[in-house]
Amino acid sequence: MYMEPDGYAEQAAVLEELGFFGYKYRPGIGPDGDRRTVELLARTVDDIELMLDVHTWWKLRDSYGRDTVRSLVEHAADQGVYWIEEPVAPDDHAGYVELADTGAPLAGGESETSPSGLVALGRTGIDFLQGDVRHHRGFTGCQQAIEFCAGREVEFVPHNFGTWLGLQANAHLVAAAPEVRLLEYPVFENDPVLGETTTDPGMYPFELAFDIIEGQPSVADGRMTVTDAPGLGVNVDLDVLESYPFIDGPWTEFQYET
């Protein structure tokens, strides 16, 4: 997930070849490394769009002060990125307003705790509002944000990260909602949908993401087709309860070399 710039470029090139619309990656390897990464990506790819998922890592003030964050946002925009996601802390709506003044394409919303908070974020000048059926009270909660975006210069793009079950849920939201066209597809290592590739574009191993449902989603040339079967159109494999027992503690940890 966090690597030298060449690693990001290799992943983006593979996903471009597979026909995906965009490549979203995590900056956070230091301001200079972040600049080198987006510059290399912009030189490497032709058609695939680039999205930065800052995930609020730029709030680490020892490396990323407010002026530095603004400079990084402006620099990424100059490289033609499609969006910059969560460049400030989720509750820093004033920070979104300040950065929107740069004209850079901003995205956010996954960390909002309620549908009303999601709509409030949409009023800060961001360009992409990211609701999630798992975070924002299901399809009904996301409907408020979708209706808010309709007719405005704010595009609703559901946030999606995790298992194929969550993918199916947000895919049905996209299929049902007017003016909604993009769906995030998280890529983990050894993804059976992608087949053999020169470089594995996956972030890290997460077998549960695939094993939680029977079968696999229908994805070809970067597009996903949803089934017209009842409900979400998939069956949950309940054997995962035995294969993946609950383990107390954080779901992931990061270690940094100093």
State which CATH number among 3.20.20.120, 1.20.120.160, 3.90.1530.10, 3.40.50.150 fits the domain covering 5-243: 3.20.20.120
User: Do residues 79 and 38 lie in contact, with contact meaning Cβ atoms separated by under 8 Å?
Assistant: yes
Q: What is the pLDDT of residue 63?
A: 81
Q: Which residue has the higher pLDDT, 59 or 227?
A: 227
Query: What is the average per-residue pLDDT within 39-63?
Result: 90
Residue 128 has pLDDT above 90, yes or no: yes
Tokens of 136: 């924002």
Strand 83-85 relative to strand 49-53, pairing: parallel
Distant-in-sequence, close-in-space partners of 16: CB < 8 Å, separation ≥ 6: 23, 45, 46, 47, 48
Spatial separation of the C-alpha atoms in residues 22 and 123, rounded to whole Å: 25
User: Do residues 14 and 199 lie in contact, with contact meaning Cβ atoms separated by under 8 Å?
Assistant: yes
For 187-204, the pLDDT digits (tens) are 999 999 999 999 999 999
Please count the other Cβ atoms lying within 10 Å of the Cβ belonging to residue 150.
13
For 65-84, the pLDDT digits (tens) are 999 999 999 999 999 999 99
Strand 49-53 relative to strand 22-25, pairing: parallel
Spatial separation of the C-alpha atoms in residues 192 and 139, rounded to whole Å: 28
pTM: 0.94
Q: What is the dihedral of CA 182, 202, 197, 79, to 10 degrees?
A: 60
Name residue, tokens 């210069």. 153
User: Do residues 218 and 224 lie in contact, with contact meaning Cβ atoms separated by under 8 Å?
Assistant: yes
Distant-in-sequence, close-in-space partners of 66: CB < 8 Å, separation ≥ 6: 95
Query: What is the average per-residue pLDDT within 27-48?
Result: 96
Cα-Cα-Cα-Cα dihedral sign, residues 231, 232, 235, 237: negative
Q: What is the pLDDT of residue 58?
A: 86
User: Do residues 157 and 184 lie in contact, with contact meaning Cβ atoms separated by under 8 Å?
Assistant: yes
Q: What is the pLDDT of residue 2?
A: 86
Tokens of 191: 């993804």
Give the chain's length. Answer: 258
Q: pLDDT confidence of 256, banded at 50, 70, 90?
A: low
Listed by start position, the domains of the chain span 5-243
Residue 147 has pLDDT above 70, yes or no: yes
Query: What is the average per-residue pLDDT within 203-222?
Result: 96
For 225-242, the pLDDT digits (tens) are 999 999 999 999 999 999
Q: Which residue has the higher pLDDT, 117 or 250?
A: 117
Q: pLDDT confidence of 221, banded at 50, 70, 90?
A: very high
Q: What is the pLDDT of residue 73?
A: 98
Q: pLDDT confidence of 250, banded at 50, 70, 90?
A: confident
Query: What is the average per-residue pLDDT within 85-95?
Result: 95
Tokens of 233: 């159109």
Spatial separation of the C-alpha atoms in residues 253 and 204, rounded to whole Å: 12
Residue 258 has pLDDT above 90, yes or no: no
Query: What is the average per-residue pLDDT within 167-172?
Result: 98
